[in-house]
Amino acid sequence: MNSPTLLSRLSPSATAMIRMDHSHVMATFHKFTADASPDKKKAIVSMVCLALEIHAQIEEEIFYPALREVQSGSDVLEKSFPEHAQMRRLIASLRDMEPTEPGYDATFNELMRDVMHHVADEETVLLPAAERLLKDELSNLGARMTRRRLQLAAPHSGEIAMNTARTMPTTTMLLAGGVLAGAVIIARRAGKQTRHHRAPDQRLLRGA
Ligand SMILES: [Fe+2]
Ligand SMILES: [Fe+2]
């Protein structure tokens, strides 16, 4: 069995993956409380920011262009790009601040508000459109998105593990099937099934 087939079988479809990512980020948002310790706030913010960056990049590189090919002139699709840019500005501001600084919580809450609106538009307009217009391609798109996720997450694996441990119990992480944890689980399963235990991630990254 070659890797593209394996990835297609193990990956969620493109729209299922996007919904899963949204749920994971929302669940992490909800862990942020005003009275949390500075360390916990920082871990939550780091995890949310990285997950959003990877998610937005995958959408911009793979999902949005595929949708644009079959549905040009969608206002919701076109405004997604500037909304991602605004999200990246807020992420950059948060990374420049300490959790104890005035404005940290307000900036994070602004990010959460913006992302919630953006996610609502995607889930009520873009994803249903993709499921109508790209029905036969969602599986292949999902596999491409998973491969790209592995590439983008790989340099951050240490940070992801540390923030995951600080922000959620392992059982919750596994049940959530989240954006980054899910990629690790898929890579491990791929490694077992293809009997190349030493470097499954690299083979998936290359798409060999
Ligand atoms: Fe988006
Ligand atoms: Fe999204």
pLDDT at 92 (0 to 100):
98
Q: Give distance in angstroms: CA of 55 to centre of ligand 2.
A: 6
Return the C-alpha torsion angle 111, 112, 117, 118, nearest 10. 60
Mean pLDDT of 21-44: 96
Phi/psi region, residue 207 (left: phi>0; alpha: psi -120 to 50; beta: rest), is left
What does pTM read for this prediction? 0.81
- The size of the chain, in residues, is 208
Q: Residue 4's CB: how many other CB atoms inside 10 A? A: 15
Task: Identify the weakest region by mean pLDDT among 90-99, 145-154, 186-195.
Answer: 186-195
Q: Nearest-5° angle of CA 198, CA 204, CA 208? A: 100
Mean pLDDT of 176-180: 50
Q: Give distance in angstroms: CA of 118 to centre of ligand 2.
A: 7
Q: Give distance in angstroms: CA of 57 to centre of ligand 1.
A: 9
State the burial class of residue 155 (Cβ atoms within 10 Å of its Cβ: 0-12, 13-18, 19+): exposed
Q: Give distance in angstroms: CA of 4 to centre of ligand 1.
A: 25
Is residue 204 predicted with pLDDT exceeding 50?
A: no
Which ligand is closest to the CA of 119, given by its number?
Answer: 2
Confidence of residue 191 (pLDDT cuts 50, 70, 90): low
pLDDT at 160 (0 to 100):
81
Which ligand is closest to the CA of 17, given by its number?
Answer: 2
Residues 49-88 as b or e (16 or more Cβ within 10 Å = b): bbbbbbbbebbeebbbebbeeebeeeebbeebeebbeebe
Q: Give distance in angstroms: CA of 115 to centre of ligand 1.
A: 8
